[in-house]
Amino acid sequence: MAPRQQEHLAHLASCLPFAQAAQMLGDLLGVQVSTETARRLTEQMGAWMDVAQTEASLAPPSETRKDVPAPKLRVVSADGAMISLVHKQWVEVRTVAIGESVSKPDPNRKPATQEIHVDHLSYFSHLSGAATFTALAKGEMQRRKVAQATQVCAVTDGAEWCQAFAERYRPDAVRILDFPHAAEHVSALLEGCTQAGIQLPDQMLSRCLHVLKHRGPRPLLRMANHLGSDLLQQKGIQEHLDYLRKREPLMQYPTFREHGWPIGSGMVESANKLVVQARLKGSGMHWQRDHVNPMLALRNAVCNERWQEMWRKALTKALKQAYLSREPCCESQPQSRSRSFRLRDRSCLPEPSSPSLLSSTASQELAPPVSSLETTAPVVVSHETHLPSRERSCRPGRSLAASSSQRLGQDTCLCGGPLRRQKGHRPKRYCSGRCRQRAYRERQGHIMRRMTPLPLVPPTRHSRSMHPCGRRQQKKKERSVPKRVNDLFHRAGGVQGETCLFCGAELVQLRGRRRGGRQRAYCSGRCRQRAYRERTA
């Protein structure tokens, strides 16, 4: 597959199941691949995309330009969704959604009121622990300039890790408890009162929620304080009442609405469905744990509309790692010789050792995933470009066509690079086919320079004669170069001892020649073919 075809395959597989993606690729491009091949190639590039976004989160923050204005409002919401792994295991995939708060008029209501919406959403999802997820989300938070925003609000549920997430990036952010979560606890509190024998009026729940949304939590808490002490000590009532009392500052919904902040976490709930559940929670899907984060990296690129950018980064990381994993031919030389390979060479793209590269219990600043990637200069690689190649420089004043007696040692190539010795094989003279080709070209050039130019015979006027049938017959043109090969061959009786009849190069006689047999007349089959063409011309 060409790199562009593999990109299309990964793009399709990030939105469709692997079997459907393989079938769709065949219908659109006529490229037939199996389901297993589609899965393997997609997860391989997804792992490198995960490495790219991990390094982006570990990179130092870039300097903000003074001419670019800082964003005014930013809304951050974090939550988790459960997916199924193999062997009947369920794990939580954490997601953070970042957007901008915008007030729009609602035409369905009379009089028209302003509805608060969140636009320009971007997402980041990862399967990891709370501390690791908080550290990895740094890249997306920096890209959306949450730290430079004038005002930030965090709409989350009551989970402790969500509050810690907002505390790390914007301690001054406005904390808002998701209104549906607060409504669940109010409903559970009223249900506990009903089970305890208290008669409540009809539509009590809707009235309480209306009061909570337009007047705040203080009236509801005053009503709960009038309950008896015996009733408050019951488990079904005390638990939910303590939850609401602890989060009273986070439920000032009238104030939040006046300032234009959303009071619901629908942005992250839709992110769970769009990023995670739409692809990883299909019917009968069970995932390996190591394959979840690569697919989430692909889903983040698709849902954030950054596919081309993230694909280039993943391709750069894959080719760079393949370049570094190959054993250098000349470690002592500062330069390296040109050697390129494409993405379609599957053997040169190793699988990442650990796609996530991070443990789920990391609570401090994380180290870069691959040290060699950080110390190497960045390389920008497009979809169909080659990796910048290595160049092995030969020694100054030394030719590749030098004789074997001038070598530095038995395990050294003519260019100075080391040679690999394999047990039971003939010792190698060159470290690569490129060295062998360069040596051959220099030998041929040296031979051609030694040959003296032959005198040219001026062309003669050709006479035409009539064929017996009446047609004109043209004689063969005399060649401007004499047939020296034919003359030399017949003059020597078809046998040559040490030099080639065509180019004059030295001949290497093969071992085990039959006794009485003819010696070699040409140094190669190419010279023999050229001599034959000249003789038969």
Q: What is the pLDDT of residue 523?
A: 83
391 pLDDT band (50/70/90 cuts)?
very low
Q: What's the rounded mean pLDDT across residues 105-122?
A: 75
Q: What is the pLDDT of residue 397?
A: 38
Q: What is the pLDDT of residue 272?
A: 93
92 pLDDT band (50/70/90 cuts)?
very high
Q: For residue 328, is the peptide bond before it cis, meaning its omega torsion is within 30 degrees of 0?
A: no
Q: What is the pLDDT of residue 392?
A: 40
Compute the distance between CA of residue 390 and CA of residue 340 in angstroms, rounded to an integer. Answer: 8
**What tens digit of pLDDT does each residue of 56-65 get?**
888 887 665 6
531 pLDDT band (50/70/90 cuts)?
confident
Q: What is the pLDDT of residue 68?
A: 64
**What tens digit of pLDDT does each residue of 505-524 get?**
777 655 444 555 566 778 88
Q: What is the pLDDT of residue 201?
A: 85
Q: What's the rounded mean pLDDT across residues 144-157?
A: 90
Compute the distance between CA of residue 265 and CA of residue 261 in angstroms, rounded to an integer. Answer: 11
Higher pLDDT, 162 or 113: 162
424 pLDDT band (50/70/90 cuts)?
low
Q: What is the pLDDT of residue 83?
A: 94
202 pLDDT band (50/70/90 cuts)?
confident
Indicate the pTM of the whole model.
0.62
461 pLDDT band (50/70/90 cuts)?
very low
Which range has the worst mean pLDDT, 183-187, 283-287, 411-415? 411-415
Strands of the sheet with 151-156, listed across from one edge: 113-126, 89-106, 73-85, 151-156, 174-177
With beta carbons less than 8 A apart as the criterion, state whether 41 and 298 touch.
no
Compute the distance between CA of residue 344 and CA of residue 342 in angstroms, rounded to an integer. Answer: 5
Q: What is the pLDDT of residue 65?
A: 60
Which range has the worst mean pLDDT, 98-107, 213-222, 263-272? 98-107
**What tens digit of pLDDT does each residue of 331-389 get?**
444 444 444 434 444 444 555 644 444 433 333 333 334 333 333 333 333 333 333 43
Q: What's the rounded mean pLDDT across residues 97-115?
A: 75
Q: What is the pLDDT of residue 8?
A: 94
Query: In sequence order, what DSSP letters do the residues of 206-229 get, joined into one string?
Result: HHHHHHHHHT-SHHHHHHHHTS-H
Compute the distance between CA of residue 442 and CA of residue 433 in angstroms, rounded to an integer. Answer: 14
Higher pLDDT, 337 or 36: 36
Instruction: For residue 113, give the 3-state DSSP assignment.
Output: strand
Number of other CB atoms surrounding residue 347 within 10 Å: 7
Q: What's the rounded mean pLDDT across residues 72-85?
A: 92
For the cut 50, the answer to whether the pLDDT of residue 305 exceeds it is yes
119 strand-pairing partners:
100
For the cut 90, the answer to whether the pLDDT of residue 306 exceeds it is yes
With beta carbons less than 8 A apart as the criterion, state whether 224 and 162 touch.
no
Q: What's the rounded mean pLDDT across residues 255-262?
A: 89
- Compute φ and ψ for 114, nearest 5 degrees: -90, 125
Task: State the chain's mean pLDDT as an integer.
Answer: 75
Q: What is the pLDDT of residue 457?
A: 45
Q: What is the pLDDT of residue 35?
A: 93
For the cut 70, the answer to whether the pLDDT of residue 483 exceeds it is no
For the cut 60, the answer to whether the pLDDT of residue 212 exceeds it is yes
Residue 214 CA: distances (Å) to CA of 176, 188, 231, 254, 462: 15, 20, 28, 5, 111
Q: What is the pLDDT of residue 522?
A: 82
Count Cβ neighbours within 10 Å for each residue of 404-440 and write b for 16 or more, e otherwise.
eeeeeeeeebbbbbbbeeeeeeeeeebbbeebbebbe
